[in-house]
Structure 1
Amino acid sequence: DVDLIFAPEVEEMYPTPSLTSVEVARMTDHLCGPFRPGHFSGVATVVAKLFHIIQPQRAYFGEKDAQQLRVIERMVSDLNLAVTVVAVPTVRESDGLAVSSRNQYLSPEERRSAPILYRALQAAQQAIAEGILDCGEARKRGLAVLEQDQSVKVEYLEIVDPEEMQPLERITGPVRVAGAIRIGTIRLIDNLLTAP
């Protein structure tokens, strides 16, 4: 049940041009960061403003966008904000595609191609489960899946440290296999947490 929704207009959140922003360094340098300059600073800033205005006890963010989740978690920790960030597991369609509002914009043909990202992540995850600890080799397994569909443009498929979101060369513990692709004009992201 929802008792109250705070849905401010842009003018209410930004009555004058803002000269202040929140920047979570380093963990936004890879994955989506280079493809979406300024995005994470914008997210961190608006979320910090909302936390300040609302003062929630808990805030829920999806694991589908693991990088954004980690940025928010780190911001909360670094700024000693009195809110508990709760990670919400990724919800998937029956074919593995991560549920996203963007999925509705896929044409029927694009929608049929879209689960390839999940299959690519699974291929890299399987390589790790089989004992491949070299990130380059595990990535190759995932990229080989993506190369099967010429309509897919790969932005990245990386294996990163799940805390700092930094690319790794060798797997020594839990990792996050993350990917982003474009199908037509639609950008899809997904990730899987895995361990050797």
Structure 2
Amino acid sequence: MINMTELQQIKQFSKRLASIGKLQYIPGIWVNGKYFWLQNRMEKVIYEEGLIIKVEQKHLHSKIHFFNIFVSNHSHQSKDIKILAMHHFQNAHQDHLTFVSPTDQRIFHHAGQNVFLVNLMHNESETKEYTTMPLWNVYTNQIWSSLQNGTLKYQPMAKGPAASILAEKITVSPQKTEKISTWTIAGKNKNEVIAMEQALLKIH
């Protein structure tokens, strides 16, 4: 017979397993000292800047979540912007670990027995900003060391409920559209997710 304590432990364990794999992606943009998150939406118009952002998901593999972000500039001036890619678990636990790997130039989320790699790319550029943040700070100005310049506050590691943020600076010419890609890869270890990413980059 399973007593109430054991039943509660089983429920908690099941809930923890259910949360793994639900690494949420929230697109964002910084422009002229302001930033916007696209929560629960795949398109946003920033009228005062003449910008339209659209996010499209591509279904490539059960372990890969791949998104293309299109930024269209409908104004008559070039726009220097930063594309933001935030990732965090829907249900975070204290044993989760989020960290920046400078040698790999990647961010990794560790949850239970799973590892998640997140990355972002624009025209094969490797110039990116990376940071991790406690979850309660991510929708505040606390993510910035300089909001005016669009510089993220660097924090290489966060434990428990946390998010990672990637940023890529791009220039969008008048009447032009730029494409940025971002992805999440899930696996059992770091070597597996890096190998899957290498295969992904050969194709895309």
| TM-score of the two chains, using structure 1 as the length reference | 0.29
- The structure showing larger relative contact order (alpha-carbon pairs under 8 Å, at least 6 residues apart) is 2
Greater share of residues in strand: 2
Q: Decide which structure has greater helix share.
A: 1
